[in-house]
């Protein structure tokens, strides 16, 4: 692999005959956004590609993708065509046409905007809340268009020379230019898991997910993840109604930690069975050394990508995120040295803060790694008296038509809003509010925990006083009006 720099951007290249394959990568994705700006990286990428297309209308377009931590422009073609496209993209990012945001936003597939499997996104939201890597899992009914100032500020902070890497496979592109703003290396802080021990909780997902944190370079954890995936798939397939195979996924948390996820689809009727099976297999792997033959079967690299692609990918991620880097030979050697004891010990340590995420409405009775009942980390509290405060109940006419089991009310305290229903309540503290949406007279409090508390004056007696109190309690910089995107104008 050859390393160089073009206009301050690191370039990693493998020479091979044929067309040139390029990927201009920026270390920015959904985890670097906020609730108010969720999707902004994808919109910036689409705007720059839109502008570059007008500069080079006769050329093939790049494939643009935005993930949890990275935004990428992939191109293939002759060295001249690829060079021209890369230069046009960089020029567009240096002079972003933010005034075209509404036009370009309507061309994007809003429903397909997620960069993660919804089950994985929900599990990350359960682990970290609605921030960083957990933000994309927050349930959103409406989408907000960033302002031009937001777009320009985001581009200037993240789409720069200091946060870019170019990877190439093919002939050398003579005369290549990457005219990006210099910028500075972005600083990000990854949040800690919201719960300090093993737990289970709910999210609005169609399935069951187990998540654990492991060191990013741990070969033993990688093998353990593979073994557990195979075991859970086999165990679920032994039931009268076999489930689809379990899936393994990973998400970068910080420069030394990766989140490993095990995902299984489940219907409402079999979610409890799937959850119990997944959890019992995870505990079994943490408590007993696997068979040496089982370990040997999973020690071989399983990446579908070629060694060159893996090498380029590792080099880019190390440059962008300061992650540990292993060449292909070292990676294979580390896997070959993994022992059954190392697999058990690695997974045992990971299970100390494992989290099982299940669909809404499910109640689990499982044993944790410490032998005691597995802790429920749901935001809702059952069978306890809500905090004391000013109570706002539904209008009398509505209460007369509502069954007692379906009634709801709010309690306003000096520090929080408490959503209540018979036998349960959820307290959202004002210092845990990350955004306040204003939809005319209605309000929607967005909590760091991943939950929303909606308030409409018509829902409660004295609702206008409640709305005014909420507006005063939430910092003004967190509040914004939420008009939906206007429909595109027909020609």
The tens digit of pLDDT for each residue in 236-278 reads 987 665 567 899 999 999 999 999 999 999 988 899 999 999 9
Q: Which residue has the higher pLDDT, 113 or 56?
A: 56
Residues 371 and 422 in one domain: no
Q: Return d(Cα 149, Cα 235) in angstroms, integer.
A: 53
Residues 71 and 146 in one domain: yes
Residues 14 and 152 in one domain: yes
The pLDDT of residue 433 is 96
Max intra-chain CA distance, the chain = 78
The pLDDT of residue 383 is 83
Q: What is the 3-state secondary structure (H, E, C) of the chain?
A: CEEEEECCEEEEEECCCCCEEEEEEECCCHHHCCCCCCCHHHHHHHHHHHHHHHHCCCCCCCEEEECCCCEEEEEEECHHHHHHHHHHHHHHHHCCCHHHHHHHHCCCCCCCCCCCCHHHHHHHHHHHCCCHHHHHHCCCCCCCCCCHHHHHHHHHHHCCHHHEEEEEECCCCCCCCCCCCCCCCCCCCCCCCCCCCCEEEECCCCEEEEEEEEECCCHHHHHHHHHHHHHHHHHHHCCCCCCCCCEEEEEECCCCEEEEEEEEECCCCCHHHHHHHHHHHHHHHHHCCCCHHHHHHCCCCCCCCCHHHHHHHHHHHHHHHCCCCCCHHHHHHHHHCCCHHHHHHHHHHHHHHCEEEECCCCCCCCECCCCCECEECCCCEECCCCCCCEEEECCHHHHHHCCHHHCCEEEECCCEEEEEECCEEEEEEHHHEEEEEEECCEEEEEECCCCEEEECHHHCCCHHHHHHHHHHHCCHHHEEECCCCCCCCCC
Cβ pair 137, 123 in contact under 8 A: yes
pLDDT of 279 higher than 80: yes
Q: Which structure tokens are listed for 27?
A: 């270390």
pLDDT of 400 higher than 70: no
Residues 248 and 161 in one domain: no
| pLDDT confidence tier of residue 305, bands split at 50, 70 and 90 | low
Q: Which residue has the higher pLDDT, 106 or 39?
A: 39
The pLDDT of residue 108 is 78
* Average pLDDT of every residue of the chain: 90
For residue 442, the domain's CATH number is: 2.30.29
The pLDDT of residue 111 is 45
Q: Average pLDDT in the 84-97 region?
A: 95
Residues 360 and 385 in one domain: no
Q: Which of 45-54, 110-119, 375-384, 425-434 has the highest mean pLDDT?
A: 425-434
The pLDDT of residue 488 is 38
Which residue, 152, 343, 366, is CA-closest to 277?
366
pLDDT of 487 higher than 50: no
Which residue, 337, 383, 32, 38, is CA-closest to 188?
32
Residues 43 and 149 in one domain: yes
For residue 295, the domain's CATH number is: 3.30.830.10
pLDDT of 54 higher than 90: no
| pLDDT confidence tier of residue 40, bands split at 50, 70 and 90 | very high
CA dist 287 → 208, 228, 315, 344 (Å) = 22, 13, 36, 7
Residues 218 and 282 in one domain: yes
> Is residue 316 in a domain?
no
pLDDT tens readout for residues 433-466: 999 999 889 999 999 999 999 999 999 999 999 9
Percent of the chain with pLDDT over 70: 93
14 lies in which domain range?
2-169
- Min mean pLDDT across 79-93, 274-288, 474-488 is at 474-488
Q: How many structural domains compose the chain? A: 3
Pairing mode of beta strands 247-252, 257-265 = antiparallel
Does this model's pTM top 0.85? My answer is: yes
> Is residue 329 in a domain?
no
Which of 152, 169, 186 terminates a domain? The answer is: 169
| pLDDT confidence tier of residue 485, bands split at 50, 70 and 90 | very low
Residues 348 and 222 in one domain: yes
- Min mean pLDDT across 156-165, 297-306, 456-465 is at 297-306
Residues 36 and 96 in one domain: yes
Q: Return d(Cα 336, Cα 349) in angstroms, integer.
A: 21
> Is residue 147 in a domain?
yes
Q: Return d(Cα 310, Cα 305) in angstroms, integer.
A: 6
Residues 368 and 220 in one domain: yes
Percent of the chain with pLDDT over 90: 74
Residues 279 and 398 in one domain: no
Cβ pair 282, 210 in contact under 8 A: yes
Which of 360, 376, 392 terminates a domain? The answer is: 376
> Is residue 422 in a domain?
yes
Residues 355 and 211 in one domain: yes
The pLDDT of residue 208 is 97
> Is residue 324 in a domain?
no
The owner of tokens 């408490």 is: 418
The pLDDT of residue 308 is 84
The pLDDT of residue 483 is 58
Q: Which residue has the higher pLDDT, 142 or 423?
A: 423
> Each residue of 322-359: b (16+ CB within 10 Å) or e?
ebeebeeeebbebbeebebebbbebbbbbbebbbbbbb
> Is residue 322 in a domain?
no
pLDDT tens readout for residues 319-375: 999 998 877 788 889 999 999 999 999 999 999 999 999 998 898 999 999 999 999
Which of 376, 403, 429 terminates a domain? The answer is: 376
> Is residue 143 in a domain?
yes
> Is residue 152 in a domain?
yes
């Amino acid at each position: 692999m050859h390393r160089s720099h073009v206009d301050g951007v690191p370039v990693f290249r493998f020479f091979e005959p044929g067309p040139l394959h390029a990927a201009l990568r920026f270390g920015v994705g959904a985890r670097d956004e906020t609730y108010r700006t969720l999707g902004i990286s994808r919109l910036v990428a689409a705007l720059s590609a839109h502008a570059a297309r007008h500069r080079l209308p006769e050329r093939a377009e790049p494939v643009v993708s935005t993930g949890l931590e990275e935004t990428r422009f992939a191109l293939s073609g002759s060295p001249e065509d690829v060079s021209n496209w890369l230069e046009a993209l960089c020029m567009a990012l240096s002079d972003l046409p933010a005034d075209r945001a509404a036009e370009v936003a309507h061309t994007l597939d809003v429903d397909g905007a997620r960069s993660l499997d919804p089950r994985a996104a929900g599990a990350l939201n359960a682990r970290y809340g609605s921030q960083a890597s957990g933000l994309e899992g927050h349930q959103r009914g409406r989408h907000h268009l960033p302002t031009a100032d937001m777009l320009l500020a985001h581009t200037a902070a993240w789409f720069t020379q200091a946060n870019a890497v170019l990877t190439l496979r093919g002939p050398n592109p003579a005369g290549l230019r990457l005219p990006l703003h210099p910028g500075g290396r972005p600083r990000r802080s990854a949040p800690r898991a919201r719960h300090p021990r093993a737990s289970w909780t709910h999210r609005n997902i169609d399935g069951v997910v187990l998540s654990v944190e492991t060191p990013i370079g741990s070969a033993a954890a990688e093998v353990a993840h593979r073994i557990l995936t195979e075991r859970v798939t086999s165990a679920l397939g032994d039931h009268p109604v076999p489930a689809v195979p379990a899936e393994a996924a990973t998400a970068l948390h910080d420069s030394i930690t990766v989140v490993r996820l095990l995902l299984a689809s489940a219907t409402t009727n079999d979610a409890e069975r799937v959850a119990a099976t997944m959890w019992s297999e995870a505990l079994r792997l943490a408590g007993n050394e696997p068979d040496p033959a089982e370990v040997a079967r999973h020690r071989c690299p399983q990446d579908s990508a070629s060694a060159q692609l893996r090498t380029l990918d590792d080099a880019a991620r190390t440059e962008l995120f300061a992650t540990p880097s292993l060449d292909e030979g070292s990676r294979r050697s580390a896997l070959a040295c993994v022992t059954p004891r190392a697999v058990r010990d690695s997974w045992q340590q990971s299970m100390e803060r494992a989290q099982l995420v299940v669909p809404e409405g499910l109640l689990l009775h499982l044993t944790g790694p410490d032998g005691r009942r597995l802790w429920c980390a749901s935001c809702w509290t059952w069978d306890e008296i809500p905090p004391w405060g000013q109570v706002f109940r539904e209008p009398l006419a509505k209460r007369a038509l509502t069954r007692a089991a379906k009634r709801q009310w709010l309690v306003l305290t000096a520090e929080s809003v408490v959503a209540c229903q018979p036998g349960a309540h959820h307290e959202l503290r004002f210092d845990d509010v990350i955004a306040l949406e204003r939809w005319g007279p209605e309000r929607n409090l967005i909590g760091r925990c991943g939950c929303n508390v909606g308030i409409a004056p018509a829902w409660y007696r004295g609702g206008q006083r409640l709305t005014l109190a909420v507006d005063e309690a939430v910092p003004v910089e967190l509040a914004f009006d939420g008009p939906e995107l206007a429909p595109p104008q027909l020609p």
